[in-house]
Structure 1
Amino acid sequence: MKTTTDKNKITLRVDGQIYEGWKSARVETSIDQICRAFVLSVTDNFPGNKSFTRLKPGQLVELYVGDEKVCTGYITSTPISYDAQSVNVQVQGKSRTVDLVDCCSPWSAIAQQSSGGGQAQQTDEWADVKGKSPSTPKAKPVKSSKRANLSWHNQTVEKIIADLCEPFGISVHCETTLASKHTNFTVNPGEKVVESINRLLTKDNLVVTDDEFGNLVIVEVGSAGKCFDKLKVGQNVLTGSSNWDASKIFSVYAVLGQHKGSDLEFGKQVSQDKGIAYDNRIGRYRLLVIKDTGQSSNSLNESRAEFEKNFRHADMMRSQHNVQGWRQSNGALWRPNSLVELEDPILQISGQFLINKVVLNLNQSGSITEIETISQDAYQRAGYKPSKGASGSTSSKTDEWADVKGK
């Protein structure tokens, strides 16, 4: 990639060609999504001496802001319109991980024919971007199995995810150490890969996203570091908003599930797994029951219930702020999974928050960054400690639902 003096210039590299001069742009990255996306548009002089109209869906693409790569993926669509004076071209694209969102695992329908699967062509095409360091030095590549499995037994989450991604030529990197193993995991028929991954994430309360190279990354919350700049009303914040929507928070969260029986465990022991979490910040009785899928356990359900409580309460205070420009005062781009000091007396929000979404916008108003923040508690993975009800007493042995009933 040729270096550029304009650190905010957006360029596309497609088949060795460099495309620039975009009139508008939108680049979105988020730790809540495994696939970053971009939309670029340009007005080319009729009949178009360049070549923006040569860009086609399915082409491999690298997107840069200045000299920094921010996305590696594919062009997904190229809407074109024209009149007597000009041709308007829009280029939409997504990270390589888009195949995990759109496609079903071959293991959910047919067995993989070989360990290489149809991957050789992708490997050759991406030889120039593979083997490079991941987005953070903490991340370690996860090796997939030599052959596909229809189900996994006593395997870690990162190993199962690596196997799910292997047929699509997508590498998995893990920043954290995951000690727990799943006794049994099976891909459901017709299930999208992202749906399989999400079922794994809900059990272990993990955060999975993509990086600028198109890899899938299991991240630690806040691992991108602390932002150099603060978000402060009256200084760099242009606009701010928050919904303060409490419709999805409850006073009691009950997660139900079941697991495979054995000679030592059967009946109610395997069919009535349950986890309870209480939110005493809610002033009235509100119960949410969640049915867990796949192999469960009391400890997994308790952890899931606690996660739901933390995430939903933090999500209520999710906020959005716009700032001028795409970079902080030290030249670094605003990035998701960073920690930022936020001071907004209008929304009555103050403290350190996690940036979970960043959108780089270029339009008639210039370069604007949309920053979405949420409390770090939203993604807390700490082990669950048994809670007590509002009265301070534990659940009744004679009434299995006494611990979730309203007082």
Structure 2
Amino acid sequence: MPDIALYVNGLKWLGWQEATVTRSIDAVFNQYTLRLTSTWPGAPGAGIPPVKKGDECSLALEGETVVTGFLNNVRLKVTADGFDLTVDGRDKTALLFKGAVLNTPAEWSGKTALQIAQEICEPFGITVRALSSVGAVFKKFTCQPGETANRAIQRLCGHRALFHYADPAGNLILANADAATPAARGLALGFDGKTNVESVTFDDGLDGQYSDYVVYNQKPGLSFGGNPHNKVLGRAKDHTVRQYCPKVVIANEPGDTTAARDLAVQTAALAAARALALSYETPDWRPVPGGKLWSINTTTPVTDDITGVKKTMLIKKAVFHVSEEVAETSTLTVVDPKSYALIAEPEDNVGGWS
């Protein structure tokens, strides 16, 4: 078994017999599950790690910290022969999904998305940094009563074509599609023996795709149906969708036909990029021996003779697993980098739900 260390209350706990660690851009926060089963080393009750829900802790795989936060759940089964302990941990940013924004006032003017996110996260003990430009300052941004911190940050990012996710220290990162860095190794699955993965799972769905994308112009305060200026300005077609299923996009700002067509094409391209996800299982936790663990928001060249994908892809999710029965593996979910080339939402909704 590799070195799996849980640091809780100043103590280091080893000997875990099964571990699953998940890092994901879409989920935002990192999480893990550890399991320890043992017969009583002495008197019944001895040898059980004294961990409790809410304990602040960090988890390291072979010396590299992957999750910093708290124990979210502790499950313990005790018998006459021994015990079975399972702990679930999450990083600090998971609190943003539960906790509401209580800043007073919860309204900002003349500040960037980064500055507002920093103020929202400060009470949670979470710092925020940006890997890319965060765009212009907001004229006004307001949180609604009871709105969770993550929902507010999600809206912030939406207005600046950004996404957010946690780092191994449990702090928050804001980024755009240009912020990804290259991984130390590519992924290969070929008929010529040049293979460094054990399996691939192909997931290609139509749920988010449409056959036609139609952009309309709508001017604020006027009836959509009765105004002669509310007309079709741009179209795009996704030829991979064979069933007729159109999507209407309302342009929030007036524009010419070229701008409208660009918006239609960009919306279609984003949906198409998100449709396909590939998950590769590799027999290691690191791209190269002695290097760092596989990381999310990194790009890797994929050469796959099975699916036909031969291009640079973005790692959006990494799952590390090991048990006494199964050696360590990484399952890397990769997507087209264009999946995170987001379209900025207009600022006319910064004070309410969208």
Q: What TM-score range do you get, normalising by the shorter chain?
A: 0.7 to 0.9
Checking the alignment, whether the CA contact within 8 Å between 2:270 and 2:342 is kept in structure 1 is no
For 2:233 and 2:150, locate their aligned partners in 1 and report how far apart those are by CA, in whole Å.
25
Report the alpha carbon displacement of residue 377 of structure 1 after superposing the two structures with TM. 1.1
Give me the TM-score of the superposition, normalised by structure 1. Answer: 0.72
> Is it true that 1:240 corresponds to 2:200 in the alignment?
yes
For 1:27 and 1:84, locate their aligned partners in 2 and report how far apart those are by CA, in whole Å.
31
Match among 170, 182, 200 for residue 138 of structure 2? 182
Checking the alignment, whether the CA contact within 8 Å between 1:75 and 1:92 is kept in structure 2 is yes
> Is it true that 1:219 corresponds to 2:216 in the alignment?
no
Tell me which residue corresponds to 2:7: 13
Tell me which residue corresponds to 2:149: 193
Report the alpha carbon displacement of residue 337 of structure 1 after superposing the two structures with TM. 1.0
SS at structure 2 position matched to 1:361: strand
Tell me which residue corresponds to 1:365: 326
Match among 30, 47, 50 for residue 47 of structure 2? 50
Tell me which residue corresponds to 1:329: 288
Q: What whole-Å deviation, never above 9, does each CA across 1:38-83 have from its counterpart, x for those lacking one? A: 110101332243342x100001101111221111100001011122
Give RMSD over aligned pairs. 3.3
Tell me which residue corresponds to 1:319: 278
For 2:106 and 2:213, locate their aligned partners in 1 and report how far apart those are by CA, in whole Å.
33
For 1:258 and 1:188, locate their aligned partners in 2 and report how far apart those are by CA, in whole Å.
26
Letter in 1 for 2:340: Y
Checking the alignment, whether the CA contact within 8 Å between 2:216 and 2:248 is kept in structure 1 is yes
Tell me which residue corresponds to 1:207: 163
Q: What whole-Å deviation, never above 9, does each CA across 1:205-227 have from its counterpart, x for those lacking one? A: 21211111111111244645322
Match among 94, 97, 114 for residue 93 of structure 2? 97
Tell me which residue corresponds to 2:64: 68
Distance 1:382 1:258, change over 3 A: closer
Q: What whole-Å deviation, never above 9, does each CA across 1:327-373 have from its counterpart, x for those lacking one? A: 22333311111111111111121111111100001122211111000
SS at structure 2 position matched to 1:358: strand
Q: Greater relative contact order: 1 or 2 (C-alpha under 8 angstroms, separation 6 or more)?
A: 2
SS at structure 1 position matched to 2:116: helix
Match among 159, 162, 187 for residue 231 of structure 1? 187
Distance 1:290 1:50, change over 3 A: farther
Tell me which residue corresponds to 2:124: 168
> Please, which runs of 5 or more residues in structure 1 have no aligned partner?
1-5, 107-111, 113-147, 385-407
Tell me which residue corresponds to 1:378: 339
Tell me which residue corresponds to 1:157: 113
For 1:101 and 1:298, locate their aligned partners in 2 and report how far apart those are by CA, in whole Å.
35
Distance 1:80 1:301, change over 3 A: farther
Checking the alignment, whether the CA contact within 8 Å between 2:17 and 2:37 is kept in structure 1 is yes
Letter in 1 for 2:279: Q
> Please, which runs of 5 or more residues in structure 2 have no aligned partner?
225-229, 346-354
Mapping of residues 265-284 of structure 1, within 5 Å: 267=222, 278-282=236-240
